[in-house]
Amino acid sequence: MSTSFIIVNKKYERNPNDLILEKEEGKSEIVIDQIHNLQKIISLAHDALTVVINEAQFLNLSSQNALLKTLEEPPENTVIKLYVDNEDNLLPTVISRCQIIKTEDQSPNLKTSSQSQEVLDLILETKVKEGFSWAEKIKDRQEAIQIIEELLRLKSSVPVYRKLQKAKKYLAANGNVRLTLENLFISM
């Protein structure tokens, strides 16, 4: 039996029998080298194996792409579980290769507001002046990250998904809040 799961909104509870992959201390994301090492370990395993990717929302794009084949055809007797805060923080191709298990939200309740949709519309329409005015009002890093996460939850964010993910990454790495938010409104 081989299966891949995405487990949404549930914190991973450590099990000593699981092979755990998570971002390294001091790093802001799970990098491709970690995925390659994981794939080597999986290929050499002889017994049943449960692989847990904890906080899978930190997989960067290269890591997610490298993981696709393993998710699609995990080795025999291997179960792969991706714990993520929101499945929209993963590439659609990763999501399509897994069964999704949604659990009760354990994080603060972030309801998508009409204000979030208005901000997303400004980004999509590259309304720089209005966007910069909005970004100027946001001073707190955690508030900015929360806003980005809320924007990522909107289904209409797909065209700017990578831009939002990059902004979240910069904010998590202590990037300048205002400049990071302003960058959202500049077309690529």
Residues 6+ apart with CB under 8 A from 93: 64, 65, 68
Predicted TM-score (pTM) of this structure: 0.55
Question: pLDDT below 70 — which residues of the chain?
Answer: 1-2, 104-113, 155, 188
Rounded to whole angstroms, how far apart are CA atoms 147 and 138? 10
| Amino acid 109: pLDDT | 38
Backbone angles phi, psi at 112, to 5 degrees: -70, 120
Q: By CB neighbour count within 10 A (0-12 exposed, 13-18 middle, 19+ buried), where does 9 fall?
A: middle
49 touches 79 (CB < 8 A): yes
Structural domains for the chain: 3-102 (3.40.50.300), 114-183 (no CATH)
Element (H, E) at 5: strand 3-8
43 touches 69 (CB < 8 A): no
| Amino acid 111: pLDDT | 45
| Amino acid 110: pLDDT | 40
| Amino acid 188: pLDDT | 56
